[in-house]
Amino acid sequence: MAHSAQVDPAFVQAPEHRSKETISSADGVPLIDLSPLFSQRTCNTFPATLLAEVEAACRNWGFFQVINHGIPLELLKKAEAAEKEFFGLPEKDKLKVRRDEANRFGYYESEHTKNVRDWKRVFDFALQERFDATGLVLKNRWPEVPLGFRETIEEYARSVEKLAFMLLELISLTLNLPPKRLHAFFEEQTTFIRLNHYPPCPYPDLALGVGRHKDSGALTILYQDSVGGLDVKRRSDGEWVRVKPIPDSFVINIGDVIQVWSNDKYMSAEHRVSVNSERDRFSIPFFFNPASHIDVRPLPELVSDRNPGKYKGYNWGEFFKRRMDSDFKKLEVENIQIDHFKRA
């Protein structure tokens, strides 16, 4: 076991948040086959059994995996290869597109989660570039090499965006809402895609690839390699369990925005990434986020005298910017959470 004096203290997790040597497999995380969307769906209806599976997964876990999702295997492998080629570049080449205080998109090697540095390197880019009144700057920096990198990653992003809207329709229906009820919130979306590289870590008992957190947006759609390391806190008993990588699948998790919209019917699940002492790990999360001008609050259709709104409204753009500020560097206070908007 490593001694904390051997590692930069910026990476050291508090003892209660460190990963254990052994962790159980999250066998209960629902696995949902989306093929009925393509074979059984009619113009205005979705298969009832599929809706029941999605509803149960969102309610009981906030996490699920999907297969037969309609995204070509060739594109997944192509995006994964482009990601590995980028992170394999010399550091001086990656630093040419390093993000900074003004614009948080591009390469970064010093990400923080809850004020502890993560053992990883990232490359972020926005699905739609923009600059708005909140001071939120979404401006992409693309490297000159590898050749074809931008085209491959943008093609991947457009394909996953279609899946995101499809999942949004399913979730809307499980809330007894029209399928496209939530679509307007994403017309000027702040969605971004991240490439993650987790190098081997000699201190797996002290550091984490990503510290414990809940995703602040609406949905996260994650493609991960076969190495594994994604841990989710099981709602039934609070235990950390490992999400087993399934080839060619996506891991889906509910974010804070859907938790608020659903008025706590669906809860954003806490998760983290444990490090591997021997192998590199790569993943590509797609963070599906609403427009910056959107005020997030419980949907009026889901609020009643019996079930009053559990959150005060908050502006998504301001919230998102503050969360990104805390990812960029260590702050002296805890970064903003949706619990700060919970009604007493």
d(CA 24, CA 133): 46
Residue 5 lies in a domain: no
Angle (nearest 5°) at CA 200 between 195 and 202: 140
Is residue 66 within 8 A of residue 34, CB to CB? The reply is yes
Any domain includes 16: no
Percent of the chain with pLDDT over 70: 92
Dist CA 309 CA 299 (whole Å): 8
Considering the domain boundaries, does residue 7 fall inside one?
Answer: no
**At which residue do the structure tokens 């329709």 appear?**
169
Task: Write out the residue range of the structural domain in which residue 319 sits.
Answer: 27-341
> Quick one: average pLDDT of 205-219?
94
Does residue 234 belong to any structural domain of this protein?
yes
pLDDT at residue 39, rounded to an integer: 83
- What pLDDT, on the 0 to 100 scale, is given for residue 1? 45
pLDDT tens column, 96-113 = 999 988 888 999 998 888
Q: Domain for residue 140, yes or no? A: yes
With contact defined as beta carbons under 8 Å apart, do 200 and 255 qualify?
no
Q: Using one digit for the tens of pLDDT, what is the confidence trace for 318-341?
A: 899 888 776 655 555 556 788 889
At 295, which CATH number?
A: 2.60.120.330
In a domain, 72, yes or no: yes
Mean pLDDT of 26-41: 85
Instruction: Please report the pLDDT score of residue 135 as a whole number.
Output: 72
Q: pLDDT tens, 8-24?
A: 899 999 988 988 765 66
Strands annotated E in 100-141: 106-108, 112-113, 116-117, 121-126, 130-131, 137-138
Task: Tell me how long the chain is.
Answer: 344
Q: Is the pLDDT of residue 2 over 50?
A: no
| Domain presence at residue 209 | yes
Distance CA 53, CA 51 (A): 5
pLDDT in the model for residue 272: 94
> How does the average pLDDT of the chain come out, rounded?
91
What whole-number distance in Å separates Cα of residue 240 and Cα of residue 23? 7
Question: Which residue type sits at 102?
Answer: A
| Count of other CB atoms within 10 angstroms of residue 68 | 15
For 96, the 3-state DSSP assignment is helix
For the cut 90, the answer to whether the pLDDT of residue 93 exceeds it is: yes
Based on the structure, what is the number of domains in the chain? 1
- The winner for highest mean pLDDT among 4-8, 78-82, 96-100, 110-114 is 78-82
Give SS3 for 212: strand
- Per the model's pLDDT, the better-predicted residue between 46 and 86 turns out to be 86
Which pLDDT score is estimated for 335?
Answer: 66
Task: Give the tokens for residue 323.
Answer: 């969360």
Residue range 25-42: mean pLDDT, rounded:
83
Residue 269: closest CA among 284, 260, 259:
259
Give the integer Cα–Cα distance in Å for 309 and 261.
9
Asked, for residue 9, whether it belongs to a domain, the answer is no
Alpha helices in the chain (DSSP H): 36-39, 48-60, 73-87, 91-94, 149-174, 256-261, 316-328
CA atoms within 13 A on the CB side of 239: 13
Residue 247 φ/ψ region, left for φ over 0, alpha for ψ in the -120 to 50 degree band, beta for the rest? beta
Structure token pair of residue 306: 């019996």
User: pLDDT per residue over 252-282, tens digit each?
Assistant: 999 999 999 999 999 999 999 999 999 999 9
> What is the token pair recorded at 129?
């570039």
